[in-house]
Structure 1
Amino acid sequence: MEISGFDFDRTDLALENREKFEKDNVEIDGVEVVKHGYYDRKINIVKVIIKTEEAAKVMGKPIGTYTTIESEIPYEDTLNDIDFIAGIIAGEMKDMYTFKPGSSFLVAGLGNRDITADSLGPNVAELIDIDMDANVKPYVVIPGVMAKSGMESALIVKGVSDQVKPDVIIAIDSLAARNIKRLNRVIQIANTGINPGSGVDNHRYGINEESMGVPVIAIGVPMVVNAATIVRDALESIINDDKADYHQMISDGSIIENDVFNMFVTSDCIDENIYVMAKIIAKGLNKLVQERL
């Protein structure tokens, strides 16, 4: 729903973009959805494959494959849980790019390490095992934010990439979700690259194959949701159907203060969530370094 220039449904998750159309029973030509999972562990895996330019315009996402690994329960800091999800991540990465002995990848840990909800990228990057004798050689860069470096993240990543010449770049960033229930429970892996800050309408230069000159895989976790969508959802759940005036106020957005549209909120357990999600993603990438191919 888009109201007065504000899109209540804005999200970085291709899955949520697709769900908007499913809710209205609308099929999109050029979009394929493949579902499977580990249902005994309450883990669902959904691939949204955008195949055509027309479908990309409708979905608001570039052509490519977007895989979401979603847990119905919070991820926990246990060896079994972390290792299992990390194995799924490693498998999905291999589906998106063929890692061969002697190949290399550059992990770009995007985001602001001083803001917890935005620190996923730097936290993952710091946990990557640097083993120059591994079958797959890893490199790491943490570009920071423009406010501190004076440079766009993409320019720093491009400069490092031009020097070390990786076969593929893996960009890690915090994302924004539409549904608050998806905070810290979804890992999205996409072969389309990433736009740093896109989740909060802070568009910067893209980190993608076109700008970098090598394939770019983006890995992200939704850490924030727009405050206005929370207000809207809460109001819709408590107002009775016969309150027509209230429904109109929700529909036209007038019941929500303008300042709310620019506010993003996160979980009260964000410190622990970042720690756990960073460990999971880093371990998945480290499996690419450690495993025999």
Structure 2
Amino acid sequence: MNEKEMKKWQCRSDLALEAVEQMVGQVDQSQEEGVKYEEDDIRGLKVTCIDVAPEAVERVGKKAGRYMTLDTSAIMTHDHDQLTVAMEVFAEQFGKLLKHRGIKETDTCLVIGLGNDHVTPDALGPLVVDEVIVTRHLYELSPNDVDRNYREVSALAPGVMGMTGIETSDIIESLVKKIKPNFLVVVDALASRSISRVNKMIQMTDTGIAPGSGVGNKRKAVDEETLGIPVFAVGVPTVVDAVSITSDTIDLLLKHIGKSLKEENRSYKKLVPFSAARQTYTEDDLPSPELREQFLGQIGNLEEEEKRQLISEVLTPNGFNLIVTPKGIDSDMENLATLISNGINRVLHPNVQFS
């Protein structure tokens, strides 16, 4: 399968980390020309930074720029202390991204919450905007009384074209021309190609965003080329498609079998009883090629992209490649919105304090 064919059917994802993994292999094992990858552990949270150079855009499938991700399980555990740590790390990394692009503390900002607030997994943007501290009206009405530690900030959730009849990017472009902010922050829900990353990863980038691209409904881009000012996008993958779920399930099944065989020293001819306890799997848990074929036939030894292509060819034509979100999405979205809005507030307004 050549690269053109791979791109034609590749699974939906808005994450640069997944795009790099898909197009140039595991980023923590190799460095592709034009792609700079750094990984760090900050207060127990995995933080990655990917710089995509212009010459790597076509290979990676992402715009040139910086992509930062914060990987945390705190969002799923609903632990207040962990969520506070995640918020602080997010604010720190988002602040670094703004400084990377030369944003000054006096620069004015417009925050846009993309998405449909009537659809829970797509409501991240509007929920964040509801909690962003806006100050532009104070600067307009009584500028001499405003604490200068609070930046001039405005915010809007413009809805989606199916509700307004207007292209979202046109609304934003008109607003930018009218109020003339120095930079834009866009918040949106994303799509992932891995079930392990849904509601567990926050992506920050200085490349803007193409709304709906992860679910095959790509709209006009909201970026610096379109608006003439720096555009920073913050997003969390809240959905995954059925192809990814099926592929990941096959991988987990093989790893579970391999791990159980090693631990229990079972005969490879017997299937392994499944435990209800939560398990952690690694690539080392995969059984040998012979055992994979023993359990799953030729499918067990397919390369990752070949396996996904096969599943896509089965599900997509029949309309079964559904877009799925976790059952606990309501409470997850509340935590995500609070985490991101508090982080943005801390970056935009240095005087903000949280208990």
Taking structure 1 as the reference length, the TM-score comes to 0.89
Contact 2:13 2:193 in 1 (8 A): yes
1:59 aligns with 2:60: yes
Moved more, 180-189 or 67-76: 67-76
Aligned to 1:186: 201
Contact 1:103 1:135 in 2 (8 A): no
1:290 aligns with 2:342: no
Shift of 1:80: 3.1
RMSD, aligned CA: 2.6
Q: Secondary structure at the match of 2:25?
A: helix
Shift in alpha-carbon separation, 1:137–1:23, aligned structure 2, 3 A: same
Q: Secondary structure at the match of 2:209?
A: coil
Aligned to 1:244: 297
Aligned to 2:9: 6
Aligned to 2:192: 177
Aligned to 2:278: none
Between Structure 1 and Structure 2, the one with more helix by share is 2
Shift of 1:138: 1.1
Work out which of the residue numbers 95, 100, 110 in structure 1 matches 2:114. Answer: 110
Shift of 1:162: 1.2
Contact 1:82 1:279 in 2 (8 A): no
Q: Look at both structures and tell me which one has the larger radius of gyration over its CA atoms.
A: 2
Deviations 1:250-276 (A, max 9, x none): 563355463456421011100011110
Shift of 1:229: 1.5
Aligned to 1:46: 48
Amino acid at match of 2:337: A
- How far apart, in 2, do the equivalents of 1:100 and 1:159 lie? 24
Alignment gaps of 5+ in structure 2: 139-145, 255-291
Amino acid at match of 1:271: D
Aligned to 1:275: 334
Q: Secondary structure at the match of 2:92?
A: helix
Shift of 1:84: 2.4
- How far apart, in 2, do the equivalents of 1:233 and 1:213 lie? 40
- How far apart, in 2, do the equivalents of 1:94 and 1:258 lie? 44
Work out which of the residue numbers 155, 159, 173 in structure 2 matches 1:140. Answer: 155
- How far apart, in 1, do the equivalents of 2:342 and 2:252 lie? 39
Contact 1:194 1:218 in 2 (8 A): yes
Amino acid at match of 2:96: D
1:264 aligns with 2:323: yes
Shift of 1:26: 5.7
Amino acid at match of 1:15: L
Amino acid at match of 1:167: N
Work out the percentage of aligned pairs sharing the same amino acid.
29
Shift of 1:161: 1.3
Amino acid at match of 2:217: N
- How far apart, in 2, do the equivalents of 1:87 and 1:175 lie? 22
Amino acid at match of 1:91: E
Shift in alpha-carbon separation, 1:27–1:286, aligned structure 2, 3 A: closer
Shift of 1:86: 2.2
Shift in alpha-carbon separation, 1:236–1:33, aligned structure 2, 3 A: closer
- How far apart, in 2, do the equivalents of 1:259 and 1:115 lie? 25
| Number of aligned positions between the proteins | 289
- How far apart, in 2, do the equivalents of 1:195 and 1:22 lie? 24
Give 1:67-146 correspondences, 5 Å limit: 67-98=68-99, 99-131=103-135, 132=138, 133=146, 134-146=149-161
